[in-house]
Amino acid sequence: MEIILKETIETLGQEGDIVKVKPGYARNFLIPRQKAVLKDKAALTRLEKEKQAIAAKLAQQKKIADGLAAVLEGKVIVISKRVGDENRLFGSVTNSEVAAALEVAGITVDKKTILLPDNIKTVGEYKVAIKTGYQTTGHILVQVVPKTIGDTK
């Protein structure tokens, strides 16, 4: 079944793209949630009229995502955690903790956009990717250090 996307969906494509999906996915998810419309003559005509607006909107989103990626690039975040034997953490560093540390640094990101390679369970430095927009990613350096006795965080 061919549909026209009304918004950017990471796994399918960008707004305005004509994509082929399984009928159940279109009927039960995309169309009821107003994320897509069936490809027909009226929808294609409407798409042609809206192409310039869609292109401008996507360019603006790309510019914002590139700006956030530039701000994130090279940023170093330090997280202190309690450690046990062999510098292993009690628990692990989560997306929420990285998002909170970025918030303290003045950068607001959604914890769902933080792509931890694996659970961070030992002290050290880790390069973490953060999705800033469609096909745009920024990288930060997360340093996990042992919590000292005087720390209250």
Tens digits of residue pLDDT in 19-28: 999 999 999 9
Full domain range(s) for residue 110: 74-146
Same domain for 32 and 47? Answer: yes
Tokens coding 49: 């009229």
Distance separating alpha carbons of residues 75 and 52, to the nearest angstrom: 36
Same domain (yes/no): 79, 134: yes
When the pLDDT of each residue in the chain is averaged and rounded to a whole number, the result is 87
pLDDT digits (tens, 9 = 90+) for 11-65: 888 888 999 999 999 999 999 999 999 999 998 898 888 888 888 888 898 898 8
CATH of the domain at 32: 3.40.5.10
136: CATH: 3.10.430.100
Count of structural domains, the chain: 2
Residue 150 has pLDDT above 80, yes or no: no
The reported pTM is: 0.72
Same domain, 59 and 22: yes
Q: Could you tell me if 78 and 60 lie in one domain? A: no
Residue 151 lies in a domain: no
**pLDDT of 74 over the 90 cut:** no
